[in-house]
Amino acid sequence: MINKKRMNEILEEFDASSVSPIAEGKSKAIYPTLDDRLNLMKFKPHCRSITYDREEDVPRTEHWRMFACMDFMQRTEKLGIPTQLMYDKLVEKDGDLFMAVDKIEPIPIEWIIRYEAAGSIVNLFPTLAKKGQKFDKPFLKYDLKQDISVAGVDDPTLNESYIVGFGLLGSDNEVQDCKNMLTRIGGDIRSRLDDVGVDLIDMKMEFGYNPKGEVVLIDEISQDCIRGRDRTTGNSITKDLFREWKSHSDIVSGYETFARKLNPTIENYLIK
């Protein structure tokens, strides 16, 4: 972590309009700074669902995703699990919000934990999985981060022997370490959401190597990565709002509701 003085020095020199991202996708862009160890990550308002054939920008979703992500990352740090975070506040420059993150070598795997049947697992296994079916033990799933344009399949599923055999991770021990982090982080988030009346159905996370060679939590844990349901209303307040073809205003409202349930003072994560 860096201190506030150093963060201010970095921000003073940073201008996103004059520097090219070192990595950019549809939902995020990562920019270099004058500090060789630190990047600034910006979220975009893009929403996408291959399953439900919908893809568009939903302005303001990125705002509430970023605040929720900061909360989850800090919570994960308190569990003793290292993350990409390099500063404990969100920062603002020229009207945009950024998260200060470490320079990471990403592991191109989406790690998914399921507590209840919903979405693709129901569509793929209709004779085995019924919507709403609760699992006694969470299901774990590993998908390669590969665009549908490569082979006609979006994020194909891996097994553990593929992960090591293809060199995505160096050993069975590293796979087990990631599985342990997946279940610990997922269990903690599930318990926390349960306390505020939100049922966690499933979620995904990503890991990467920091400059020390340690495997750390990276990327984003947010409403776009979580399937969560308000226990009082039975309504989705996360990514399924987009999949259910809700209006932009309903999606943003749900994302805000989720963030404020998670932490009523969540906007205090923005540096003043």
**Are 100 and 76 in contact, with CB atoms under 8 Å apart?**
no
pLDDT of 52 strictly over 80:
no
pLDDT in tens, 197-239: 999 999 999 999 999 999 999 999 999 999 999 999 999 999 9
> How confident is the model at residue 83, as a pLDDT?
97
Q: Which fold has domain 105-254?
A: D-amino Acid Aminotransferase; Chain A, domain 1 (3.30.470)
Question: CA 250 to CA 214: how far, in whole Å?
Answer: 40
Average pLDDT over residues 258-263: 97
pLDDT for the residue 271: 75
Q: How many CA atoms lie within 13 A of 167 on its CB side?
A: 0
Q: What is the pLDDT of residues 124-160, one digit of tens each?
A: 999 999 999 999 999 999 999 998 777 777 889 999 9
Q: How confident is the model at residue 48 (pLDDT cuts 50, 70, 90)?
A: confident
Global pTM reads: 0.94
Inter-residue contact 76 to 88 (CB < 8 Å): no
* Structural domain boundaries in the chain: 4-102, 105-254
Mean pLDDT of 161-180: 96
Mean pLDDT of 252-258: 98
- Does residue 253 register a pLDDT over 80? yes
Q: Is residue 51 over pLDDT 80?
A: no
Q: What percent of the chain has pLDDT over 90?
A: 90
Q: Report the pLDDT value the prediction gives residue 272, as an integer from 0 to 100.
A: 60
CA 39 and chain centroid, separation: 17
Q: Which CATH class is domain 4-102?
A: alpha beta
pLDDT tens-digit profile of 17-29?
899 999 999 999 9
State residue 252's pLDDT score.
Answer: 98
According to DSSP, the β-strands at 28-32 and 23-24 are antiparallel
Tokens of 41: 């990550």
pLDDT value, residue 150: 76
Binned at pLDDT 50, 70 and 90, residue 249 comes out as very high
- What does pLDDT average to over the chain? 95
